[in-house]
Amino acid sequence: MEQATILREAMRFDIDIIRARYANEHALSDGTAREHERELKRFLAMCAIAPRKRYAMRGPIDAFWHTFLLFTQTYAHFCTHVAGRFIHHRPREMDPDSGAPDREAHEEFKTDYQALFGEVPSNHLWPSPPLEPGPSGAQCYPRCASPCRDPNGAK
pLDDT bin (cut points 50, 70, 90) of residue 138 is very low
pLDDT of residue 155: 36
Mean pLDDT, the chain, whole residue set: 83
Asked if 108 contacts 43 with a C-beta cutoff of 8 angstroms, the reply is no
pLDDT of residue 129: 75
Least Cα distance to 48 among 93, 1, 105, 15 occurs for 1
pLDDT of residue 65: 96
Average pLDDT, stretch 123-141?
63
Least Cα distance to 89 among 74, 76, 100 occurs for 76
Tell me how far apart the alpha carbons of residues 2 and 140 are, in angstroms, rounded to a whole number.
Answer: 39
Report the chain's terminal Cα–Cα distance, integer Å. Answer: 46
Tell me how far apart the alpha carbons of residues 96 and 143 are, in angstroms, rounded to a whole number.
Answer: 9
pLDDT in tens, 12-64: 999 999 999 999 999 999 999 999 999 999 999 999 999 999 888 888 999 99
Give this prediction's pTM: 0.80
Asked if 40 contacts 68 with a C-beta cutoff of 8 angstroms, the reply is yes
Element (H, E) at 133: strand 132-133
φ/ψ of residue 82, rounded to 5: -90, -45
